[in-house]
Amino acid sequence: MAEWFVARASDLKDGDRRIVTAGKREIGVFHKDGAYHAYSNTCLHQGGPACEGVMINNVVDILNPDRTYEGQKFGDETHFVCPWHGWEYDIKTGEMVGDRKQKLRKYEVVKRGDDIYVVA
């Protein structure tokens, strides 16, 4: 295992991300809502750059107490989306949201002073 430099913390603003090539691995490092998350940049579907797509919140169907359908809204869960086919991953867990048994490999992120590193 080694620590791979990602960015100065002051350069990686909340909502931003970096793609780190660590040896033969590509890792997406996200800074979102005050936390850092790092996942393999290879989509579990067909190998697309999973961490390089848009970030978007989950979509929620609004149901009334009588179970009738009212409409849709965005939820509170942030997803990042593989730009090839739209596979969506939960940024907090790396789980594929359509089948949470499937998860991207997660990496540890450490902060040393003002520097952010990913451990891989």
Partner 1 sequence: MDMPRSDVRPVDFDSFSTPKHLEHAAQQAHARNYQDFLIVDVDSHHYENESYAEVFEYIENPIMRRDAIDSGGRSTGFLNTQVGGQSMAGRIVRNKGRKLDKPRVSKHRDIGMTLDWMDSMGVDYACLFPTPMLFLSAHPVPEVEAAMAQAYNRWLCERILAHEPRIVSMLYLPFNDPDAAYKTVKEFGDKKGVVGFMVTSPRYKSVHDNTFMRTYRLIEEQGKVLSFHAAYNWDDRALAMCNRFIAAHALGFMWFNMVHMTNWVVNGLPERFPKLKVMWIESGLTWAYSLMQRLDHSYLMRTSDCPQLKRKPSEYMREMYYSTQPMEMPEDKTLLEATFKQIKADTQLLWSSDYPHWDFDLPSTIYDLPFLDEKSKRNILGGTAAKLFNLDSKPVKKIP
- Residues within the interface to partner 1 (CB under 8 A): 1-7, 16-23, 42, 46-49, 51-54, 56, 81, 83-86, 88, 117-119
- What is the DSSP code (8-state) at residue 24? T
- What is the DSSP code (8-state) at residue 93? T
Q: Which is nearer to partner 1, 17 or 37 (CB)?
A: 17
Please give the Cα distance from 108 to 6 (Å, whole number): 12
Q: Which is nearer to partner 1, 5 or 14 (CB)?
A: 5
| Cβ at position 4, least distance to partner 1 in Å | 4
Q: Which amino acid is located at 97 in the chain?
A: V
| Cβ at position 55, least distance to partner 1 in Å | 10
Q: How far is CA 14 from the centre of its chain?
A: 13
- What is the DSSP code (8-state) at residue 96? B
| Cβ at position 28, least distance to partner 1 in Å | 8
Please give the Cα distance from 40 to 26 (Å, whole number): 6
| Cβ at position 18, least distance to partner 1 in Å | 5
Q: How far is CA 98 from the centre of its chain?
A: 15
Q: Which is nearer to partner 1, 13 or 33 (CB)?
A: 13
Q: Which is nearer to partner 1, 18 or 37 (CB)?
A: 18
